[in-house]
Copies of this chain bind each other. A is one copy, B any other.
Amino acid sequence: MDAETIAGLNDYEIKLAKLKGEFVWHTHPETDELFVVVSGRLTIRLREEDREGDVVLGPGELYVVPRGVEHCPVAEEETAVMLVEPVGTLNTGDAGGPMTRAAEPL
């Protein structure tokens, strides 16, 4: 997932990300995360204790993944997404691994 920080909002940042394919299952234990689809189609797979399900978003649709909920974004076609989250939020949350991007200073 390529992502670029395009603006700051207090101690939050607004990012644009392009995604194609399956990202990685991860959790942000400390924060909610806002996804707004700009173009394409995004499936956010979610699992939490005994619940599991998908949220499918088209352009102009949004979803907030609550803190602590494990999720995996998936896009079959190239999809552009706007994210809003606190500065320093790691893209792979608690999962780490090769897809982890360094947090960018504003």
Contacts and interface: CB of A to CB of B under 8 A. Distances in A.
B60 A32 contact: no
A3 interface: no
A22 B7 CA distance: 26
Interface string A26-49: 000001111010100000000000
B86 A10 contact: yes
Contact of A34 (B62, B64, B84): B84
Interface of A: 6-10, 12, 14, 31-34, 36, 38, 60, 62, 64, 67, 82, 84, 86
Protomer copies: 2
Contacts of A14: 34, 62, 64
A9 B65 CA distance: 9
B32 A10 contact: yes
Contacts of A86: 10
